[in-house]
Amino acid sequence: MPGRVNSLYPPKSSGRPSKIAVVGAGAVGTAVAYACAMRGDARTIVLQDINKAKVEAEALDMAHGIQFTPCGSVEGSDDVEIVRGSDLVIVTAGAKQKPGQSRLELAGSTVELMKKIVPNLQNVAPDAIFMFITNPVDVVTYVALKLTGLPRNQVFGSGTVLDTSRLRYLVSRETGVATQNIHAYIAGEHGDSEVALWSSAEIGNVPLEHWGPTLGGKPFDIGLRKRIAQDVVESAYKIIEGKGATNYAIGLAASNIAGAVLRDENRVLTVSSLLEDWEGISDVCMAAPTIVGRSGAGRVLNPPLTLNERDGLTASATRLRQVARDLGF
């Protein structure tokens, strides 16, 4: 169109440059904001946190490096007004997970925090897509959906996007194939009851069961698959024990999701959204392969499942639903 200015940044529907707000300036929130800035996921990135000195310092530190990124500006404030007009709000604020503590054990204190902050965020950014990273992310996403009354596409969690990346990394280590060519998913809870969907896993276009031996000459049998799946579950605990938090990989995962939304990529990602009659599962938020684009969480795909995988997902849903019920949702 004549007179139209091309932009490096994903546009709003109005044609104006887009804006991402990251709520929480802890280890995860700052990693998310930094990854989004480095990838140029939006022209404007803002950080919001109740700790005024920290959030302003974190934002200023990033802003000083703006010339080395595709991003236009980074700002920080303790005032929720900085979130106003955001296209995507990424919520990372929550109780810190302690070594040995499960994600579901965080539920009570985190849900109370969500009751305080979510209405304020919705007030200043009612049309935004809301993505939750705060653990336990599936329960938090369900609670946020109930608190806001927004449609399911507009409120979703990061789900098992990171777990899926961990799974592909471990399969890559065993086979020597680039992680980008490993096609395998983790579904269910982002936590101990998650399920590796081995039956639909492929390397390139070769089903995993037909791959043959690993780099070490061992068969990619059920024993190896179980060990890899367990390593995925336990990896966060190992990192938290060693450094106190996981932040780099989830920052990259969140940026990947943000790009899918704001660039309308319609990518298949295992985000956590409200499921209704998906493989017999309803009224729960948990991860499943989902098409993610500018409208948020779209169609949930139905991959082929074994009976064991289906039973595992049903058990995972039951576990999450019970936690939500115990919290009054």
Instruction: Tell me what the mean pLDDT of segment 275-285 comes to.
Output: 97
* CA-wise closest residue to 292 among 196, 159, 197: 159
* CA-wise closest residue to 303 among 312, 284, 290, 285: 290
Q: What pLDDT is attached to residue 15?
A: 56
- Which CATH code fits 19-157? 3.40.50.720
CB 286 within 8 A of CB 272: yes
pLDDT at 300 over 90: yes
CB 42 within 8 A of CB 71: yes
Please list the active-site residues. Answer: 190
Neighbours of 270 (CB within 10 A): 26
Strand (E) or helix (H) holding 229: helix 222-243
The dihedral region occupied by 308, where left means phi > 0, alpha psi between -120 and 50, and beta the remainder, is: alpha
Q: What pLDDT is attached to residue 106?
A: 75
Output the average pLDDT for the chain: 93
CB 49 within 8 A of CB 67: no
Cα 184 from Cα 207, distance rounded (Å): 10
CB 103 within 8 A of CB 190: yes
The class (CATH top level) of 161-326 is alpha beta
- Reported as a single tens digit per residue, the pLDDT across 152-183 is 999 999 999 999 999 999 999 999 999 999 99
- Residue 9: band (very low, low, confident or very high) from pLDDT cuts 50, 70, 90: low
Single-letter amino acid, residue 176: G
Instruction: Tell me what the mean pLDDT of segment 235-249 comes to.
Output: 92
- C-alpha dihedral over 120, 121, 127, 128, to 10 degrees? -170
pLDDT at 44 over 60: yes
* CA-wise closest residue to 257 among 127, 159, 175: 159
* Residue ranges per structural domain of the chain: 19-157, 161-326
Q: What pLDDT is attached to residue 109?
A: 85
